[in-house]
Amino acid sequence: MKSRGVSIKTNFFAALVFFIVGFSSNPALADIYNRQILPVGEGEAFMANTGTGGIADTGAVYYNPAALASIAHSRMAVTGSTYLSFGIKADSVARIDTPAQDVPYQANGFNTIPASYVLTYALDHAVIAFSVLVPDSLQLENRANFTTTNTKGVIAQSYKYSDLWLGASYATRIDSEWSVGATLFGIHHAESSLVDMEVDFPNTANSIVSSINRSDVGTMGFSLNFGVLYELSKAINLGLRIQTPLLNISNRADTLINTRTVNAGVLTSTDEDHPNGSANYQLPLDTTLGARFRPADGWDIYTDLSFQVGAQYTALPDSSIDSEVSTDPTFRYAVGTRVLITEKIPARFGLFYNPSALHQFKNNGKSQTKVDCFGITGGLSYIIEHVETGVGLFYISGTGQSTSDGAPGDASKYAMTGVGALISTSYRF
């Protein structure tokens, strides 16, 4: 193998490592690209995350704080425990060798996402609440082997991602028709990745590539969730939620790249070490217009239309790791229903469509993944005096494309699935 050929492969596989770090994490999360796809909330989680039109339960701290004003008694809830089994598959994350051959990618995992805790206090003319939410969480441990005509390699990958939201809420009724409320969230975002790759070129003596890539990111900030609820009639409620962009107050990153290339016995290396680097993490302005319709007693229908503005930033400005984030203004759609089977057994179901906030690949030479998600949720609850307990299931499916160099012509098919269980328990004082 000529020296120029090894150089091409070295640069290519270094880029491939960075691509896989972002590729594996993006589709399975409620992140900036596919916001709010994991179930969160006491009743909302069973109805595809609908609830802006007004549900008098603890999930209102997130979906519409104004609905908290309808809670007549103090309440404590442990909700949103999610057990998620997921799979990710791409036909090709890159093409190598001559003639070109595809390098496929596949990963599977099982996550236990921590529960959310909400405590509400009903005062004389208002309701206050304190909440601990975990809307996003993922852990991936994966090993991928690949073999082509001129290369043989293995990639060992570890990835963790989680968000912690601490909230304080206040809601009150203005009159018999209007309610307002707000939740101030302190948000901690943590993300870490470790990728170890070994590539051998069997047809060329003493030629290998070895690379270790590590990143550890932590950011903190604040976001205000403001809600308005209008009771048009006993059969129709209208709600509006506005979540402000994240105001970052602390950002840090620890990145390490160590690549060793042996070409015909000649060693070259590339090193990058930023233990105290900077980081960026954004949640753009997000709004939801929701409605609740009551066709008959014991039957409610909820619809939510959400809109997220676009954003563009570099997540790791001090590092050469591919960290360009670019999104477009995007709508999300969800519908849910609650039906009383008996006075003690409500059933809830929902559907959502969450298209990718990346509408078209940007021709910027960066790795990108575009996936549109569809989800189904459902479950039953049982009410005994002051306690309501619910159990249910959810299914998420995503299809789209991924590219390792930003060129739409080189995009490959991409798919992800997730199946999980839901548990919710609340106690009314």
Identify the pLDDT of residue 95: 67
Is the per-residue pLDDT at 259 higher than 50?
yes
CATH class held by domain 3-428: mainly beta
Sorted by where each begins, the domain ranges of the chain are 3-428
**Percentage of residues of the chain with pLDDT beyond 90:** 50
**Percentage of residues of the chain with pLDDT beyond 70:** 87
Is the per-residue pLDDT at 149 higher than 90?
no
Q: What is the DSSP string of 214-278?
A: EEEEEEEEEEEEEEEEEE-SSSEEEEEEEEPPPEEEEEEEEEEEEEEEEETTEEEEEEEEEEEE-
Identify the pLDDT of residue 17: 40
Identify the pLDDT of residue 25: 37
Q: Which of 204, 248, 272 is nearest to 8 (CA)?
A: 204
Burial profile 131-153: b = 16 or more Cβ within 10 angstroms, e = fewer? bebbbbbbbbebebebeeebbeb
End-to-end, the C-alpha distance of the chain in Å comes to 75
**Any idea what DSSP says for residue 28?**
G
Contact 241, 63 (CB under 8 A): yes
Query: Strand 299-308 relative to strand 247-263: parallel, antiparallel, unpaired?
Result: unpaired
Identify the pLDDT of residue 364: 62
**Which is more confident, 145 or 387?**
387
Question: How many angstroms separate the CA atoms of 324 and 84, rounded?
Answer: 28
Reported as a pLDDT band with limits 50, 70 and 90, residue 23 is very low
Q: What average pLDDT score do residues 213-241 get?
A: 95
Is the per-residue pLDDT at 240 higher than 80?
yes
Of 32-46, 163-177, 339-353, which gets the smallest average pLDDT? Answer: 32-46
What residue has token string 């060129």?
407
H-type helices in 26-113, by residue range? 60-63
Contact 24, 140 (CB under 8 A): yes
Q: What angle do CA 425, 420, 82 make, to 5 degrees?
A: 40
Is the per-residue pLDDT at 28 higher than 50?
no
Tens of pLDDT, residue by residue over 295-352, are: 999 999 999 999 999 999 988 898 887 778 889 999 999 999 999 999 999 999 999 9
Backbone angles phi, psi at 123, to 5 degrees: -100, -175
Reported as a pLDDT band with limits 50, 70 and 90, residue 376 is very high
Residue type for position 335: V
Instruction: Note the maximum CA span of the chain.
Output: 81
Identify the pLDDT of residue 230: 98
Q: Which of 224, 274, 218 is nearest to 249 (CA)?
A: 218
Residue type for position 208: I
Tens of pLDDT, residue by residue over 64-101, are: 999 999 998 899 998 766 677 888 887 776 666 667 77
